[in-house]
Amino acid sequence: MCSHSQNQKHYPELNYGSGAKWIKSLTQNRLSTFLGGHFQDVNLSSVLYTHHIDSSHHVDLQVWSAPGLTKPSFHEAMKQEFKPAKKGDSFGPSSLSLTRLLFAGTNHWWKVTLKIPSYWQQYERVQFEFDPGCEAMIFSTDGVPLQGITGGYGGDRRVEYIIPSQAVRDGQYAVVIESSCNGMFGVPWDGDIIAPPDMNRYFQLASADLVVPNQDAWHLMWDFTTLREIVDTVPGNTALQNKALVTANKIMNAFTSGDPENIKRLRGIAEDVFGKGWYAKGDKIYNEGPKKAQVVGISYCHIDTAWLWPYSVTQQKTARSWSTQIDLMERYPEHRFACSQAQQFKWLEEQYPPLFERIKKKVASGQFHLIGGSWVENDGNMPSGESLVRQFLYGQRYFESRFGKRCETAWLPDSFGLTAAYPQLIRDAGMKYFFTQKLSWNNINVFPHSTFNWVGIDGSQVLCHMTPVDTYTAQATVGDVNKGITNHKNLESDATALLVFGNGDGGGGALPKMLENLRRIRAATNEHRELPSVSMGSSVEEFFADIEEASKEGKTLPVWKGELYLEFHRGTYTSHGSIKKGNRKCEILLRDVERVATLTTLLKPKGHSYVYPKRAIDECWEKVLLNQFHDVLPGSAIGMVYDDADKLYAEVREVCTGLLEDAFSVLLPRSSPLLSNPTSETLVAFNATSFARHDVVKHGYALMHSVGNKVASQSVGMSSICMPASVFTNGMDHFVLRNANVQLTISEGRISSLIDVRLGRELIPKGSSGGLVIFEDRPNYWDAWDVEIHHLETATPLSFSQVRVIAEGPLRAAVQTQVKYGSSTIDVTISLDAITATMKGNSRSCFNFDAVVDWHERHKFLKFELPLNINNTYATYESQFGFVQRPTHKNTTLDAAKFEVCGHKFADLSEYGYGVAFLSESKYGFACEGNVLRISLLRAATAPDAEQDQGRHEFSWAVMPHVGSFLESDVPMAAFIYNSPLHVRTVPERNTSHIVPPLPFWLEGAPNIFLETIKRGEDDFELNASGTTVILRMYEAFGGHGSVKLHVGGHVPVKRAYVTNILEDTKGELGLVSTTGAHNTLKLDFRGFEVKTVKLVLETEESDSDISDISPTMSSKRDSWVTVNDEL
């Protein structure tokens, strides 16, 4: 027979069949029926468990409910009386009802004793499944945290705990469980994530079961899940997508329940996509395939330090999440977990020491990665420049002291926009990489880059990656991996993406299913090329280092200059006014304390016992830095958080007031705080700035004056530089506040005129008026977070009423006004002093507005505005260590998006020759729409805090006309002074000769260099400290170069001087020049917006050491709630 006929016998001559054509869409839709749902009794879900028992004989439960919202430690709980419990019961505070309901926010402790059937020893795994419907932590019986539990049936569900094999052989096992009655996202009252918490929500113990999982069935479920994700993700015209669908369909067709071998055969079918024998390779699957993966996976667990839950709950979330990740590391060698926020590590160190020791071992082994370098993942807009420095200083020093290493990558994935001061500070904190992604939430424009050089206001750059996966809580799906490339915005520069996966916001972290899925995705990409390859086992730093090398040190990457403005959550600059005020006031107070305490250690009488209060200062800073977390300072947390935050601020104010009093008792002996006005005493004030200034003190109105480097201001009479202030009225509705250089008119309740008297220039356009204005404030969803552009269409001007004169001059002229709106009362005192804003030659006076508001509105936005006879395409706003300019027009959608922006101490609209600034002492929201300059004062959101901003508020702002454009003005100096009130005291008249000596540090030269910080060096308080150092931090404020001479008084014995980074590591030595004026001088050069830190090393005697105030490694227990019982 010929070969031709032999070949034809395999292909039938006749065909009476229908063919194998499928309806692809129906087959694809069919895949959803293989797990759960209507067919769960007969599909794969029916075989996931081999055994399942919950009898009291095998599972013995006892419970103790902690009273109220208390959070006892493990050892405290073990001393209590436990009562019998069972699955299905609802448990909680016995005082609430006889049935002991499990009540929102409460904590409950369970003693669990398990009896394991002896025949279960044959199985690969035995689990205890505990589902209280909320979060929980499993402890060993001696108090070691083992693993977290997330109850309920969401995507973050984790209720299984693997019983050790030895315990299975022994037939018994015991654990202790703490359950906390909050979900992963708190307890929103109606299921809406941002709704206020429902403190009457109950939870029920849904399961407390011993189970034997069918491991083959679970792995088949993960196989099938990955196949289905490939089908749903990869384009339908690809071979991989069709092969995955065919394979999944084969599995469904071949599935039969009741046959264990059937499951194994089905897993073999899955190898058509994943490759033969792929499963046996385990984590070694990542060693095959492409040498360089396009997507790099890193596990992460974003835990909001407070948000829809208070700080105390976060402390528990941290322990639950991190212990679980350590457990996963034992089963998945490729698992690498990145973790930020030194504050959370410190809480863990104090409250869960055994777990902290386990983490230290995993850090040393390279599995637990330290990232961020900051105290918390703070807000990126509102903290001061010095606060951002301290976030890094305290964070990096903590990591180094506990783990022997610093972080190399800055990490702020969820902050609501980022100041352009960051690149310089990140580099100066010893890092050059930066990860974020929040700008993917922009609601107007799409940010154009994924990997780029981010260049700050001073020219410093960091290598920045915004993951194209657009989340820091990826679920490690095929879609996530694919999006890492398909959504990448600059593949021409770099074709890699970071996959940051794991449940977050409320904690949790990676789940086993995520790590299993990634293995299968890698196996599939080892066999096929239609999906990007994914790798595991490397660090964030290795990811960035590869980009740095491939891009020739960033040369081939795009550049983004300036702030990373989030086109979303613009209302957070104003929400919760109390937190904004607490932050600003405490930042200033701590700056003053450090300055005064440092001077006291330098100027104290020889032999005096005064010691720099380092420990108290550190504790205060930690509280302020904690409250700067990116859901606390923005005002987007629940009300309980602000109860805690206000308490922390009160503690800081109390401590700092005491520290100032201690120092003043040395610097100004026999002085007293200003409480009354005795005629036999003299006023003296401490000027905590480095600017000469004059002030009118409301103490019967006294004029205080300080010049040069004098830190003490003394009361003086009316001088030639004063311009008597006066107020005129027609007795009805027309009031004029005036001095020799400015004039303001209130007519019919509105500000109708603002005049520069010396120039005869009217600053308000004819027919326009300014004053308070209120807007409807109903964002599309995120209530406390957002204000939308359409609110600008709903303005209602408010008129001052009941205007009356309360001060007629000459030092101060003032009128009292009132506005009634809805259920609210707004009292505003408008005043003008006889002095100018600064001592610059052509400075103008400020009009000050002091408001006391009884606020009871809902979804309203209160602002103050002035239309100005000034034209410019941009306005200027202070930012950290500099300023940022933003458009006043809407030429493009990028311009229009900035209809509400963040500023610090000033906002300014200027043109050539003239400008007007608003000065702020506690507000951060501003806008400039055309020629209308606005400052945002109060909002009234109702979610997630139903009572946000309700009640009494006191705040101030000022209107400052100035000659010259902004760059020619004294606005930054005036704003600095406006935020730095004098510390006024009284001294006996005969004691005026003992006024404190001049400030021993002063600048000469360029006026654009500001001396921000004076403090003692951090290393002075280490155990091996060998001397005394002083840290001086300066910055260039106007965006240009400048040179200054830093003078150091001769009575301060400096032996060496260094430039350091913000962590106070030496960069280089400075030349110290002794002058004939009996002081030393350092010459310093600055580039625009440069921050420069100088360390002075002093000649000291052994008796001058402050070693007694060294903070211990473990903070001692103190009354503040931040440090909880550390009995563990």
The residues carrying an active-site annotation are 414
What contacts 652, CB < 8 A, 6 or more positions away?
586, 589, 590, 620, 623, 624
Number of H helices, E strands in the chain: 20, 57
Q: Is 845:741 a contact under the CB 8 Å cutoff?
A: yes
Q: Is 974:843 a contact under the CB 8 Å cutoff?
A: yes
Q: Which is nearest to 803 in space by CA: 726, 855, 730?
A: 730
Q: Is 110:176 a contact under the CB 8 Å cutoff?
A: yes
Token pair 């890193």 in the structure block, residue: 298
3-class DSSP state for residue 1001?
strand
The β-bridge partners of 877 are: 884, 907
What DSSP letter does each residue of 508-569 carry, written as one string?
A: -B--HHHHHHHHHHHHHHHH-SSS--EE-S--HHHHHHHHHHHTTTTTTS-EEES-B--SS-
What contacts 1093, CB < 8 A, 6 or more positions away?
428, 1031, 1032, 1033, 1059, 1060, 1061, 1062, 1064
What sign does the CA torsion over 232, 504, 179, 172 have? positive
Q: Is 374:340 a contact under the CB 8 Å cutoff?
A: yes
At 641, list the tokens: 């958080």
Rounded CA separation 692/706 (Å): 5
Q: Is 455:461 a contact under the CB 8 Å cutoff?
A: yes
- 1014: part of which helix (H) or strand (E)? strand 1009-1016
Q: Is 447:466 a contact under the CB 8 Å cutoff?
A: yes
Q: How far apart are the first and last CA of the chain?
A: 89
What DSSP letter does each residue of 706-724 carry, written as one string?
A: E-TT--EEEEE---TT---
Half-sphere exposure of 906 (CA within 13 A, CB side): 31
Q: Which is nearest to 577 in space by CA: 351, 270, 862?
A: 862
Rounded CA separation 929/873 (Å): 10
Q: Is 1044:1007 a contact under the CB 8 Å cutoff?
A: no
Q: Is 459:476 a contact under the CB 8 Å cutoff?
A: no
The β-bridge partners of 682 are: 987
Rounded CA separation 241/248 (Å): 11
- 145: part of which helix (H) or strand (E)? strand 145-150
Rounded CA separation 493/557 (Å): 5
The β-bridge partners of 851 are: 828, 955
At 321, list the tokens: 């999440």
- Please state, as a whole number, how many other Cβ atoms lie within 10 Å of the Cβ of residue 191: 8
Burial 1-36 (b: 16+ CB within 10 A, else e): eeeeeeeeeeeeeeeeeeeeeeeeeeebeebeebbe
Sheet with 702-706, edge to edge strand ranges: 672-673, 983-988, 681-686, 712-716, 702-706, 693-697
Rounded CA separation 50/257 (Å): 12
- Report the 3 state secondary structure along 16-45: CCCCCCCCHHHHHHHHHHCCCHHHCCCCHH
